[in-house]
C-alpha cells in the first residue's frame, strides 16, 4: 500500500526481528516457493508492538508456513508464554521446526499439523492474541472461532484483509469474496473495537470493547 522505499524506511526505524528470524526469512525467500506469503519485517514490528502493548502471553496462529511470524511473535512473549501454530504443509513446517530449534525462543512454539478447522475443533483454551493468516476461504470461520476463544483483553489480527486491493471489486474470485465477507462480518461486530490498517496487505485488528464512556 506504500512504496518499497517508504516501507524500508519504516522498517529501518522500527524494532527489528532477531538474526534467527532474519535468517529464516532470507532462506525462505531464496529457497521456498511462495515466499511472498511471509509477513515480513514491517508487519513483524507491528505485531511485536501489539504483543508488548497488550502484554500478550499466549498466541494462536493459523498459517505457520516456514515459521517466520511464529518465531517473530515468540520473541516478544515471556518465557512461560506459548505460540500454538497450525498448518497443513508438512514440508514448510519441517523448515520452521529446524529454524525454531536454533533460537532460544523456539521452545515456546507448539506446532499442529492439521487443517485449520480440524485443529481448532480440538482446542478449548482462550488466547491473548489470535493471528489469522491461513486459507482465505475460511477467514469467516476462523473469525467465528477466534471470537469464542479470546481472553478478556485479547486481540485478533487478521492478515491480508485488503488482498492487494481486490476487496474493492466483489465477484472477482472465491478468495476475494471470502475476504470481503470476513471484513463485513468483522465490521458489523457489536461490542468490539475494530480497525482495518492499510499496512502491507491489510491488517484487521479486533478487540473486545471495554466499558462505554
Ligand X SMILES: C[S@@+](CC[C@H](N)C(=O)[O-])C[C@H]1O[C@@H](n2cnc3c(N)ncnc32)[C@H](O)[C@@H]1O
Q: Could you list the residues that contact ligand X (CB under 6 A)?
A: 37-39, 63-65, 68-69, 86-89, 92, 115-116, 133-135
**Residue in the structure block whose three cell numbers are 475494530:** 194
Which has the closest alpha carbon to 15: 40, 46, 38? 46
- Give the residue with the Cβ less far from ligand X, 81 or 100: 100
End-to-end CA distance of the chain, in Å?
A: 34
Q: Nearest distance from residue 13's CB to ligand X, in Å?
A: 21
- Give the residue with the Cβ less far from ligand X, 23 or 115: 115
- Give the residue with the Cβ less far from ligand X, 85 or 183: 85
Angle at 104 between CA 72 and CA 122, to 5 degrees: 65
Q: Between the CA of residue 54 and those of 15, 48, 88, 147, 213, what are the distances in Å?
A: 16, 10, 29, 17, 21
- Give the residue with the Cβ less far from ligand X, 34 or 78: 34
- Give the residue with the Cβ less far from ligand X, 175 or 208: 175
Q: Nearest distance from residue 171's CB to ligand X, in Å?
A: 23
DSSP E strand boundaries for the chain: 58-62, 82-87, 109-113, 127-132, 150-159, 192-197, 203-208
Q: Nearest distance from residue 191's CB to ligand X, in Å?
A: 28
Q: Nearest distance from residue 74's CB to ligand X, in Å?
A: 12
- Give the residue with the Cβ less far from ligand X, 193 or 205: 205
Q: Retrieve residue 138's grid coordinates.
A: 475460511
Q: Nearest distance from residue 64's CB to ligand X, in Å?
A: 6
135: left (phi over 0), alpha (psi -120 to 50) or beta: beta
Q: Nearest distance from residue 142's CB to ligand X, in Å?
A: 9
Amino acid at each position: 500500500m506504500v512504496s518499497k522505499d517508504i516501507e524500508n524506511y519504516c522498517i529501518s526505524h522500527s524494532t527489528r526481528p532477531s538474526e534467527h528470524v532474519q535468517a529464516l526469512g532470507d532462506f525462505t525467500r531464496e529457497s521456498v516457493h511462495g515466499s511472498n506469503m511471509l509477513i515480513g519485517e514491517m508487519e513483524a514490528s507491528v505485531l511485536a508492538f501489539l504483543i508488548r502493548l497488550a502484554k500478550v502471553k499466549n498466541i494462536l496462529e493459523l498459517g505457520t508456513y516456514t515459521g517466520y511470524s511464529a518465531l517473530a511473535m515468540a520473541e516478544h512473549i515471556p518465557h512461560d508464554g506459548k505460540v500454538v501454530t497450525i498448518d497443513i504443509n508438512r514440508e514448510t513446517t519441517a523448515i520452521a521446526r529446524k529454524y525454531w530449534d536454533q533460537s532460544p525462543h523456539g521452545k515456546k512454539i507448539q506446532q499442529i499439523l492439521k487443517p485449520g478447522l480440524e485443529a481448532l475443533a480440538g482446542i478449548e483454551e482462550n488466547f491473548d492474541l489470535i493471528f489469522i493468516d491461513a486459507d482465505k476461504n475460511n477467514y469467516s470461520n476462523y473469525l467465528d472461532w477466534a471470537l469464542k476463544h479470546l481472553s478478556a483483553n485479547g486481540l485478533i489480527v487478521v492478515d491480508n484483509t485488503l488482498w492487494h486491493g481486490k476487496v474493492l471489486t466483489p465477484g472477482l474470485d472465491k478468495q476475494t469474496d471470502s475476504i470481503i465477507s470476513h471484513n463485513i462480518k468483522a465490521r458489523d461486530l457489536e461490542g468490539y473495537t475494530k480497525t482495518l490498517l492499510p499496512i502491507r496487505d491489510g491488517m484487521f485488528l479486533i478487540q473486545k470493547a471495554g466499558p462505554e464512556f
